[in-house]
Amino acid sequence: MRVSSGIPGFDEIVQGGLLRDRLYVVSGPPGSGKTTFSSQFITEGAKSGENCLYVTMHETKEELMQDMSGYDFGFDQVMASGTVQFLNLMTDSGKRTITQFGTDGGLTNRIVAFLEQQEIDRAVIDSTMLLQHFFENVSDEITGFLSALKQTGTTTVLISEMTDPSSYADEHYLAHGVIFFHNYLDSGGMTRGVQVIKMRGTAIDCDIRPIEFSDQGLRVIADKRVEA
């Protein structure tokens, strides 16, 4: 079963929406739209009556709401309505909350226990770069974390900054779907685009589609392609 991503034009390039309960990795350079995409994804879930969780490691709820306050897609309403739980793992209160979900197995088990016990339908985790701070053996633990996330009944967007844009990371291989945001140079200056690199169970073409930011947020121009 597919659910709407909440990003106008995006569902059209993935056969009508995202397969439920799967793990999607969203990557791209700074300022390319990863957090905006994730905020629209969460807003859509909350508006459809899904139980939502936004996990961050670098932004407070206030900062995130301020960043999204230029848009009208309804983020502030859903955040205020209590249908979205917000967990900032850098704060004492966020750490206390997550500690209640198990004392062994570290962060992976706790986040998975949170998703399961709270019956979270849709989650965002922003981001792998900061997640690394919680892991001792980063490569092994990230792999374990992704494998565990894939088993949950939660449709999850995991943001992964690409530290090395020329090579894929473990999370790109392990995820069910991989979405890249691009900032690219063309004759008119810098343009933005989105590219679905893979989406298991879904016919995709891997083309880069232009994206636009307006007061409604991020939008994919599904019928246009960016020529490389």
Nearer to Mg ion, 57 or 146 (CB): 57
Give the C-alpha separation, 106 to 148, whole Å: 13
Give the C-alpha separation, 95 to 98, whole Å: 5
Only segment of 4-12, 17-25, 32-40, 107-115 that touches ligand ATP (CB under 6 A) = 32-40
What is the pattern of x (binds ligand ATP, CB under 6 A) and - over residues 186-215?
---------------------------x--
Residue nearest to ligand ATP (CB): 70
Q: Which of 28, 94, 177, 210 binds ligand ATP (CB under 6 A)?
A: 28
* Bond preceding residue 147 cis, omega within 30 of 0: no
Nearer to Mg ion, 58 or 200 (CB): 58
Q: Which of 9, 17, 27, 32 binds ligand ATP (CB under 6 A)?
A: 32
Nearer to ligand ATP, 34 or 122 (CB): 34
Burial of 3 (0-12, 13-18, 19+ CB in 10 A): buried
Q: Which of 8, 14, 17, 36 binds ligand ATP (CB under 6 A)?
A: 36
- Residue 161: CB minimum distance to ligand ATP, A: 6
Only segment of 11-19, 43-51, 65-73, 202-210 that touches ligand ATP (CB under 6 A) = 65-73
C-alpha distances in angstroms, 138 versus 94, 98, 129, 134, 158?
Answer: 21, 20, 10, 8, 16
Q: Is there binding between residue 35 and Mg ion (CB under 5 A)?
A: yes
Can you read off the two tokens belonging to residue 176? 């069910």
Give the C-alpha separation, 144 to 146, whole Å: 6
Can you read off the two tokens belonging to residue 45? 């879930």
Strand arrangement, sheet containing 208-214:
84-88, 52-56, 122-126, 155-160, 23-27, 177-186, 189-199, 208-214, 217-220
- Residue 59: CB minimum distance to ligand ATP, A: 8
Contacting residues toward Mg ion, per CB under 5 A = 34-35
Which spans of this chain sit near ligand ATP (rule: CB under 6 A)?
28, 30-36, 67, 70-71, 161, 213
